Structure 1
């Protein structure tokens, strides 16, 4: 097998940054695991631009230009959950930002990878009044990614098609970020999609390699890095979801 030069860039939020998969050198994550697997058979230049807490507008404003400067053969674009958890939810702006980023990358001939999200409310175990409004937003987010896929023919990992995504051990203790097992599973699935496109390399191992942290230790690390984000999102989404549940309940009573 001849070695190819593969320039790969990961855009997005904490999931692509690697939160939930700690190593002595910092967060690793699925994109880095995938890049390391490709590097066994190819010459890989990898840049991880994803940062925790990023929204689609942050990717457009801060990550897109350096991504294009990297001249990537392939790029991952996975973002939007932070948008869905904000009280200032603006689906029209989210759509514009995602389509813009995908269009700019596609115009350069980049192989673009995106996702279709699963039902995060099942993983989080949210009660109905909180789960329903978030689920509606996730449906809108997926519709936007459907449009990205239809316009640009991107490689897409449909997480909802895989029941394994709901296994408890696929997730870190916060149930928001993948565990090492979850990140390795994501990298493995992405590798299968790339191999189907003609990039020949061995998929990454599904066997975890990091020393297993005690839940309390991992929770401490997650909280140190993510507490400000968690506080902001809980403060924004929780009150909005409660008001939405009350509003819909009143509507049903009036219609009865």
Structure 2
């Protein structure tokens, strides 16, 4: 199947956080996927509507109509993790927002790809209490995708997706290697030329650090990332305050690096 108009919707992971930086801009798995598609189709165009910090309901409200207006033939939908980490989250309500997007995009005739989330307990033991919620959400997403004919990149069953080398120090965002793996997973789901299941293979094993070092690592993460995140939540702030999509319109893609299609820079919101 040919893909000429790709639109990505979602939050920080799809925006590409931590695959690059604020000064040079973020690449991310969706950009990486777009580069693969552009290499096959000279007329290919790509838009990325994702904004960091967005909850699933807001992604649905702000990005669905904007994406449909671009008349895409391929849409990726990654949403829900910002909801699932919040106390009292209802996974069924979050999954319902994701399903509404899948329904709208598949009804338009686009090929749609969505995602399950990895095992958060394996990424950070301090979040093990969220595991049942993620398991519940993932199954709801699989069921919704089946109902609407969407493709699913099912990350949860593959231990490699929790390897710390794929994640940034904040454990919330993929690093460059993680973004590359996600792009490879979507390429396989789409059966793109040259794609395969090698992204599921585990990385070479790491030596197990002593228990005291593991405990120190967890405490450092909690102080450096979990604590500030909780403070922002209590203050009603989001990392996406004052931000808009980095690539709101369909444009050509010229490949990685400075020769890529220009992306507008953002300013941090108050």
Fold match (TM-score > 0.5) = yes
The two structures have a TM-score, normalised by structure 2, of 0.69
1:175 maps onto 2:174 in alignment: no
**Which residue is 2:146 aligned to?**
150
Offset of 1:70 from its aligned partner? Answer: 1.0
In structure 2, do the counterparts of structure 1 residues 98 and 235 end up closer, same or farther at CA, with 3 Å as the change threshold? Answer: same
Change in Cα spacing, 1:202 to 1:131, as seen in structure 2 (3 Å) is closer
- Find the residue that maps to 2:64 and give its secondary structure: helix
TM-score normalised per structure 1: 0.73
Residue 131 of structure 1: aligned partner: 128
Q: 2:159 aligns with which of 151, 163, 168?
A: 163
C-alpha contact (below 8 Å) 1:38/1:202 kept by paired residues: no
- C-alpha displacement of 1:191: 0.8
Check if 1:107 corresponds to 2:107: yes
Judge conservation of contact 2:102–2:145 (CA < 8 Å) in 1.
no
Which structure shows the bigger proportion of residues in helix conformation?
1
The gaps in structure 2 that reach 5 residues or longer are: 200-223, 237-270
Distance in structure 2 (CA, Å) of the matches to 1:92 and 1:181: 31
Could you tell me how far apart the structure 1 residues matched to 2:195 and 2:181 are? 14
Deviations 1:205-251 (A, max 9, x none): x9xxxxxxxxxxxxxxxx9xx99756335889xxxxxxxxxxxxxxx
Distance change in 2, residues 1:108/1:229 (3 Å): farther
Contact 2:30–2:183 (Cα < 8 Å) also in 1:
yes
Distance 1:76 1:156, change over 3 A: same
- Give 1:25 deviation, angstroms: 3.3
Is 1:54–2:51 an aligned residue pair?
no
Contact 1:20 1:178 in 2 (8 A): yes
Give the Å deviation of 1:90: 3.0
| DSSP-derived class of the 1:161 partner | coil
Alpha-carbon deviation of 1:67? 0.5
**1:72–1:228 CA distance, 2 compared to 1 (3 A):** farther
Alignment match, 2:31 = 32
CA contact (8 A) 1:124 1:176 kept: no
Provide, for residues 178-204 of structure 1, a one-character-per-residue CA deviation record: whole Å limited to 9, x for no partner. Answer: 110110111011111112xxx54678x
**Alignment match, 1:10:** 8
- Note if contact 1:115-1:145 (Cα within 8 Å) is conserved in structure 2: yes
What secondary structure is seen at the aligned counterpart in 2 of 1:147? helix
Secondary structure of the corresponding residue to residue 77 of structure 1: strand
Q: Is the 8 A contact 2:142 2:152 kept in 1?
A: no
Asked if structure 1 preserves the Cα contact closer than 8 Å seen for 2:80 and 2:95, the reply is: no
1:87 Cα deviation after fit: 2.7
- 1:195-234 superposed matches below 5 A: 195=191, 199-200=192-193, 231-233=231-233
Q: What's the C-alpha RMSD, in Å, of the aligned pairs?
A: 2.8
